[in-house]
Amino acid sequence: MLDTLNKTDLLLAALSALLSLAPEQHRARAAEILDTIADVTKSAVSVSNQAGDFADKLAALRADIDAMNERGVTVADMDEALARVRTASAIFRAASESAAAQSA
């Protein structure tokens, strides 16, 4: 449980950054969403070693970006990135629907 809450601290930190990409009419909901999350995670204490997986993924991505600075972004790079987002989103939504069905 603590693992989940600590990971959520990191996840939502960056997710809130992406909320700013949303159209303005949806952006007001960000505060509402974050308040909800703050309510349900108020028992969380501090961030711990559990940030490791997340840190590893970002370190790998950082290395990719450093290499990419030598050559620039190609259409193939963007197709790969968009495919990764769409795949991650589809997996997330399936997991979310499954979780919602189980709790119903």
Partner 1 sequence: MRHPLRAFVLGCALAATPACASFPFGNAQIENPISAAEGADRQAYAVLQTYAVLIEEAADIVRDPEAPAALKRALAQAERVTTPAAETLGLAVRAYASARADLAATPNDDSAVSRFAIAARHLGEALETAQGPLGELEALVRAQQN
Q: How far is the CB of 70 from partner 1 (least distance, A)?
A: 10
> Is residue 101 at the binding interface for partner 1, with CB under 8 A as the rule?
no
Using alpha carbons, select from 16, 19, 14, 92 the residue that is nearest to residue 58: 14
Beta carbons of 41 and 8 less than 8 angstroms apart: yes
Number of residues interacting with partner 1: please give it, by CB under 8 A: 79
> Is residue 93 at the binding interface for partner 1, with CB under 8 A as the rule?
yes
Q: How far is the CB of 59 from partner 1 (least distance, A)?
A: 4
Interatomic CA distance for residues 45 and 54, integer angstroms:
18
> Is residue 72 at the binding interface for partner 1, with CB under 8 A as the rule?
yes
Binding residues for partner 1 restricted to 3-62, rule: CB under 8 A: 4, 6-23, 26-27, 29-30, 33-42, 44, 46-55, 57-59, 61-62
DSSP state string for 25-62: HHHHHHHHHHHHHHHHTTT-----GGGHHHHHHHHHHH
